[in-house]
Structure 1
Amino acid sequence: MPHQFVGQWLNQKFDADIRRNYFRGMDFAGPTGDPGWFGPGSAVWHVHSHMHALIFGLQCAAYLERLDPSIYWMGMHHSRLVQRDEDGQAIPQIDPKGAAVRLGHSIAFFIGTAYGSTETAERLAKAVRAMHHTIKGVRPDGARYDADDPDWLRWNYATVVWGLATAHELYHPQPLRGKKLDRYYGEFIRVGHALGGTDLPTTKAETLDCLKSYLPKLALTHGAAMATGPNVPLPQSAIDWAIRDTMPKWAMQLIQHQSPNIIERTARRGLVWSTINGLELAAGPIPEFRQAQARVADGVDPALAPHTEPSYVLGSDPVRSREEVEHSFA
């Protein structure tokens, strides 16, 4: 299939599956001069502009975060991500439709907060916080979980920024490294603060230390175990390996993932690099990135500064039921 037809098909599918369902109400073209939370020249604009590396990074983050048993049980009790039996009881198997919805919302959030207007970013963060406020419960072992718990928010934040940054470092054709990559970690913290996070890591080294500090609380949950191993069919098995390849060494040990020799690992990464960048090349730059560039092309509004800051104040959100939240953001 010619290159242009592949790109057209990818973009049409993204429009139909993601943009039409999850980008509604998001403003990228205006208001003129509004830089949003990051703005031109930011590391976040550079990293998030590569849509397919971003999607891969979200998968890496999701895999790592569910090593926390509380994350696992939050999903089993509250998420549409897993299948359910006739009685409505969760089954530790991914529901394809639920997974597609989860991915769609995630892509919209990380594109919207990167390139959207300040109002768009604020609204997206408010929606996620509102849902987090409703996720509370008890695991089968009696331990309580609460998505507003600062300790949980820190773990969740660290897995997300690690997944996105590591996917970028490995699979972007022009990756940021060293201090330039640390700029991304330092900028992305605005998203963490907007979701209620506190005491968050701001560099790659701090993020690695933060993640490792949770090791005594982590475990190979049933869901993580079922998503690991040789039974994943092709071509997903190549992506499954690449996801585990992005994990810190101690996390690989937890799931008994062993890296092959350097030659084989390089060849595997090369195959995944070609796949991710081939898709990105065919699809071309996302229109939201181009719209954001045009929005600030004449210079950032001098009343705003190079970027705006999230306005959320801890504890300021109203208390609402899950039904009210879902109705508000439907």
Structure 2
Amino acid sequence: MNVPLAPLRLPSTEWVPLDLPHEMLGSWLNGKFDENVRAKFFRGMEFENPAGDPGWFGPDSATWYVHSHTPALIFGLQSASYIERLDPSIFWMGMHHSRLVRRREDGTATTAIDPDGAMTRLGHSLAFFMGTAYGSTETAERLARTVRAMHHTIKGVRPDGAAYDADDPEWLRWNYATVVWGIATAHEIYHPRPLRGAELDRYYGEFVRVGHALGGTGLPTTKADTLECLESYLPRLALTHGNAMATGANLRNRAQAAVDWAIRDIQPRWAQQLISYRPPNPVERRARRSAVWTIINSAHLSMGEAPEFAAAKRRVAGGTDVPHTLPRYELGSDPELSRTEVEAAFSH
């Protein structure tokens, strides 16, 4: 999955001009999104055409509804990233192969986050999860091909001698479960009108198409199955240095500490125990969650509907011939590409 391997490092609390009128704040947020994400990472993605193309999910899908709330989607991806990095292999994949961390002159990774690398990873993630959700069928296929190609290059050995391979079916299953859980749980808690019960399970069942397109097999298709899948990996997990450095006293500003708390607060109970997190009393927890809910939904209200989602709705305004298309990927059918060729594909 094209997910950030480190939480988004927020600037100081003065970075966002909260004193602007609502309309001006929305314009400012959209301008920053256009400048830092859309202009760099959404190139070549098609949402408006071809007319009548439902894409992988279609206008009546739970996936279109869940992914259309961009701030909640971002928070869900950050929450997925946090639980994902409890797998030491994931942590070392990021250290060895990602641009998230600064490197010494000899290429050795340091533990310091590279802000440009973090923004690049976030941009690619948003492009992937918005493009596969409501982009055209060809856009979704191209994005999946590119991410698979990147996964094919991520192989190595951890410092303790354990080998890792991003194409390992067990790793793909864990990675998929963290992502669908993160997005769905953020939606369930912080969306103003969240899907619940059977409707939320419809999202879990639909989203498995993305996992299959990336080579996953035996993937969970309900909330209960996903939670069971996540917990079954507990014997392999640990509090990695990456998670420790992104938690509590190691954070340097209040904005990031607030995001860190919210991310840890929605983790499954066994994961909270692993990271030594104890929820506050129910009254304080509700107050904190209400504050986070207000921030996430104020950002969404200020920004308005994403242009890509609006374009997708226009694409199917006249109807579709089928409710959705299915990913065409067959295991083992990808050509071999070098890392340089894969990174070139990401830039188009």
TM-score (norm. length: structure 2) = 0.93
For 1:72 and 1:131, locate their aligned partners in 2 and report how far apart those are by CA, in whole Å: 16
2:16 counterpart residue number: none
2:141 corresponds to: 122
> Hey, what's the Cα distance between the residues in 2 that align with 1:328 and 1:49?
26
- Cα drift, residue 87 of structure 1: 2.5
The secondary structure found in structure 1 opposite 2:250 is coil
Cα shift at 1:225: 1.0
Contact 1:82–1:94 (8 Å) recurs in 2: yes
In structure 1, the gaps of 5 or more residues are: none
From 85, 102, 122, the counterpart of 1:66: 85
- Show the counterpart of 1:310: 327
CA deviations on 1:234-261 (whole Å, 9 max, x unpaired) are 1111111000111100000001011001
Query: Which of 263, 270, 273 in structure 1 is aligned with 2:290?
Result: 270
Paired position in structure 2 for 1:209: 228
Q: Give the conservation status (yes or no) of the 8 Å contact 2:201–2:223.
A: yes
Q: 1:324 aligns to what?
A: 341
Q: Is the 8 A contact 1:93 1:223 kept in 2?
A: no
CA distance in 1 between counterparts of 2:215 and 2:303 reads 34
Instruction: Out of 226-235 and 115-124, give the one that drifted further.
Output: 226-235
Q: Percent identity?
A: 70
Give the Å deviation of 1:85. 2.2
2:317 to 294, 297, 303: 297
Q: Runs ≥4 in structure 1, deviation > 4 angstroms?
A: none
Q: Provide Cα deviations, 1:86-112, integer angstroms capped at 9, x if missing partner.
A: 332111222111110000000000000
Matched to 1:248, the amino acid is P
State the shift of 1:329 in Å: 3.2
1:155 to 145, 168, 174: 174
Contact 1:43 1:187 in 2 (8 A): yes
Q: Which residue of 1 aligns with 2:35?
A: 16
Distance 2:210 2:300 in 1: 25
Give, in angstroms, the shift of residue 268 of structure 1: 0.4
1:129-278 to structure 2, matched below 5 A, reads 129-232=148-251, 233-278=253-298
CA distance in 1, matches of 2:242, 2:129: 25
Superposition CA RMSD, Å = 0.8
Distance across 1 between alignment mates of 2:95 and 2:295: 32
CA distance in 2, matches of 1:325, 1:274: 39
Stretch of structure 1 that moved more, 75-84 or 85-94: 85-94
For residue 58 of structure 1, report the CA deviation from its aligned partner.
Answer: 0.6
Any idea what SS the aligned residue of 2:249 has?
Answer: coil
Q: In structure 2, give the amino acid aligned to 1:70.
A: S
Q: Which residue of 2 aligns with 1:81?
A: 100
**Residue 82 of structure 1: how far off its partner (Å):** 1.1
Q: CA deviation at 1:229?
A: 1.8
Q: CA deviation at 1:326?
A: 1.5
Q: Which amino acid aligns with 1:13?
A: K
**Aligned equivalents of 2:281, 2:313: Cα separation in 1:** 43
Cα displacement (A) at 1:319: 1.2
Structure 2 gaps of 5+ residues are 1-19
**Post-superposition offset of 1:285:** 0.4
Structure 1 residues 126-170: Cα deviation after superposition (integer angstroms, max 9, x where no partner): 000000000000011111000000000000000000100000001
Q: Which residue of 2 aligns with 1:112?
A: 131
Per-residue deviation at 1:230?
Answer: 2.6
Q: How many residues align?
A: 327
**Distance in 2 of aligned mates of 1:93 and 1:190:** 35
In structure 2, the residue matched to 1:288 is 308
Q: 2: CA distance between counterparts of 1:34 and 1:51?
A: 22
Q: What's 1:103 paired with?
A: 122
SS at match of 2:112: strand
**Aligned match for 1:47, one of 54, 60, 66:** 66
Residue matched to 2:25: 6
Q: Report the CA distance between 1:79 and its aligned residue.
A: 0.3
Q: TM-score if structure 1 supplies the norm length?
A: 0.98
